[in-house]
Amino acid sequence: MDIREILYRLQRGESQRAISRDLNINRKTVKRYQTWAEAEGLLEGDLPPLDALQQRLEATLPGGTPPQQVSSVEPYRDQVMAWREQQVEIAAIHQRLRETGYTGSYAAVWRFVRRLEPPPIDVTVRVESPPGEEAQVDFGYAGQMIDPKTGQLRKTWAFVMTLSWSRHQYVEFVFDQQVPTWLLCHRHAFAFFGGVPQRVVLDNLKTAILQAAQDDSDVQHAYRACAEHYGFLIAPCRVRTPQHKGKVEKGGVHYVKRNFLGGRTATDIHQANRDVRVWCETTAGARTHGTTRQVPLTRFTETEQALLQPLPDTPFDPGTWKRLKLHRDGYVVCEGSYYSAPFTHIGQTLRVRLGVRTVQLYTDDYQLIAQHSRATEAGERLTHPDHLPPEKRDGLRGREECRQLAADIGPATAAVVQTLLDEPVMDRLPTIQRLLRLETTYGADRLEAACQRALTFQDSAYGTIKRILQHQLDETPAPDPTPPVSRATTFVRGAVDLVGRALGAVTWML
């Protein structure tokens, strides 16, 4: 059960009865949350994110007693069944059990008996929707069509959306039943109708319903986001009750199979979609409907179209959700590309939403922690420096960024960095990154003074600058460098020695 979905429907004016029916939860539960939301001022304005709502709910609304898993009547099952076969009333059964030492309530016995016995026959009553109120959708297998990319036949499905009042419908053939395809079909259908109904009734499809169960239909977040974007309510059809969706199953998929596809040879799927759109607006739209005894297209154009909700300014960006682990290097791997997330979440399994243009990463309770543009090619690595540990961020700095950081510290630091960058043989970028990290330890002013001192002695080595800082030499005045002593260009030996050698007396060479 999603508290945000309940509040969203309450904001739209849905009754407790309607919310209870569509989400298959007890009306008392809906009433309880409505009372809480009114006290918290949550029925007006934008709703907080789901994680914030959950925290607020836990802090301000005491939890109820968890449901009992095993009935207290279970030890008496055989005896109770025997009494019911004798048509003994539940009240009498409760009394007989009390006589044997049973301490449970009458309600516990009533619930136990109701679970044992088959439900009464349910009479189906046709409920007609007012114009613009409802659309019903389904997927149906449509045989095989030609994939224009390969020229080969592929299994094909038909997406059908039928407006419940006019019976006007939209049909699209697709090659899969994945969530992006499902959402794109909705977008195309709403564009075809030129508007959006108030509610969409679904079959329990894997792509539309995350978990189909009578007591909890947890709609995928991707589809809920689509519903909020277009402003319609999702109304899941109850499990194994196709009569709740007969306008589609008999008038939609069934009709498309028997009429448009009946006797048609396999064609290119693009051509089939062009043909079926014309068919929806002519043959299907112009027929006299078997139930309404009126023409669907006429009912649509004359009445229902004007009552649909207007389309939003921008179409929905269909996104799919995946659960992916954040690896030790700080990235999740999604469809062959790499996306960073804060290093504090390493080892966790994140919820990843893949949109057409963006990729969003959430914690397990749907707290947004990272967002990236979607990679354009496999193997691309998208990184936010803030996602890395502080000691790892400097390794991402490039040459231009290093120049700018050095210039921000001071002209001497900039000169040292430029000297290192000008090294013709060795790549000094890692050395520069280590040099700039000294600012974190010693501060910008001391690093600038150390670089100035190093330049004075014409020694820009990283080790020299680090030693200056370690020995606090940057805080003392730099002495003037001693000019080198020029050596005299004279003979080492005197003229007498040279003349003596010429005369044969070379005593100093012996």
Model confidence over 298-338: pLDDT tens digits?
A: 999 999 999 999 999 988 887 778 899 999 988 999 989 99
- pLDDT grade for 83, boundaries at 50, 70 and 90: confident
Q: What's the pLDDT at 65?
A: 38
**Three-class DSSP category at 404:** helix
d(C-alpha 56, C-alpha 62), whole Å:
11
Q: What's the pLDDT at 203?
A: 61
Greater confidence, 467 or 430? 467
Sequence-separated (6 or more) residues with CB below 8 Å from residue 502: none
Sequence-separated (6 or more) residues with CB below 8 Å from residue 457: 464, 478, 481
Greater confidence, 158 or 70? 158
Sequence-separated (6 or more) residues with CB below 8 Å from residue 183: 222, 223, 226, 316, 318, 319
207 has pLDDT over 50? no
Strand 199-202 relative to strand 134-146: parallel, antiparallel, unpaired? parallel
d(C-alpha 348, C-alpha 331), whole Å:
11
Which residues are 146's β-sheet partners? Answer: 153, 268
Distance set, CA 55 to CA 59, 224, 363, 365 (Å): 6, 21, 14, 10
Q: Which residues of 165-204 are buried (b: 16+ CB within 10 A; e: fewer)?
A: bbbbbbbbbbeebebbbbbbbbbbbbebbebbbbbbbbbb
Percentage of the residues of the chain whose pLDDT score is greater than 70: 80
29, 57 contact by CB (below 8 A) = no
Cα 87 from chain centroid? 55
- pLDDT grade for 217, boundaries at 50, 70 and 90: very low
**Whole-prediction pTM value?**
0.54
Mean pLDDT of 391-413: 78
Q: What's the pLDDT at 324?
A: 94
Greater confidence, 70 or 435? 435
- AA identity, residue 279: W
508 has pLDDT over 50? no
387 has pLDDT over 50? yes
- pLDDT grade for 503, boundaries at 50, 70 and 90: low
- pLDDT grade for 266, boundaries at 50, 70 and 90: confident
Q: What's the pLDDT at 491?
A: 53
Window from 3-12, 331-340, 423-432 with minimum mean pLDDT: 423-432
E strand or H helix at 199: strand 199-202
Alpha carbons within 13 angstroms on the beta-carbon side of residue 461 total 5
- pLDDT grade for 490, boundaries at 50, 70 and 90: low
Radius of gyration of the chain measured on its C-alpha atoms: 39
Q: Is 151 left (phi over 0), alpha (psi -120 to 50) or beta?
A: left
Could you say which of 3.30.420.10, 3.40.1160.10, 3.40.605.10, 2.60.40.3470 is the CATH number of the domain covering 134-307? 3.30.420.10
470 has pLDDT over 90? yes
450 has pLDDT over 50? yes
E strand or H helix at 143: strand 134-146
Percentage of the residues of the chain whose pLDDT score is greater than 90: 29
Mean pLDDT of 129-157: 89
User: What is the crossing angle of helices 16-23 and 27-40, to 10°?
Assistant: 120
Question: What mean pLDDT is reported for the chain?
Answer: 80
Among 23-32, 230-239, 247-256, 422-431, top mean pLDDT goes to: 23-32
Q: What's the pLDDT at 257?
A: 77
Comparing CA positions, the residue from 232, 245, 160, 244 lying closest to residue 200 is: 232
Q: What's the pLDDT at 123?
A: 47
Greater confidence, 129 or 308? 308
Q: What's the pLDDT at 434?
A: 86
Please give the order of strands across the beta sheet that includes 233-236.
169-174, 153-163, 134-146, 199-202, 233-236
Window from 11-15, 187-191, 371-375, 397-401 with minimum mean pLDDT: 397-401
Q: What's the pLDDT at 171?
A: 94
Sequence-separated (6 or more) residues with CB below 8 Å from residue 89: none
Mean pLDDT of 248-272: 76
348 has pLDDT over 80? yes
- pLDDT grade for 362, boundaries at 50, 70 and 90: very high
Structure tokens at 197: 């109904």
Q: What's the pLDDT at 329?
A: 86
Which residues are 444's β-sheet partners? Answer: none
**What's 206's DSSP letter?**
T
Number of residues that make up the chain: 510
Map out the domains of the chain as residue ranges. 3-60, 74-116, 134-307, 320-388, 393-475
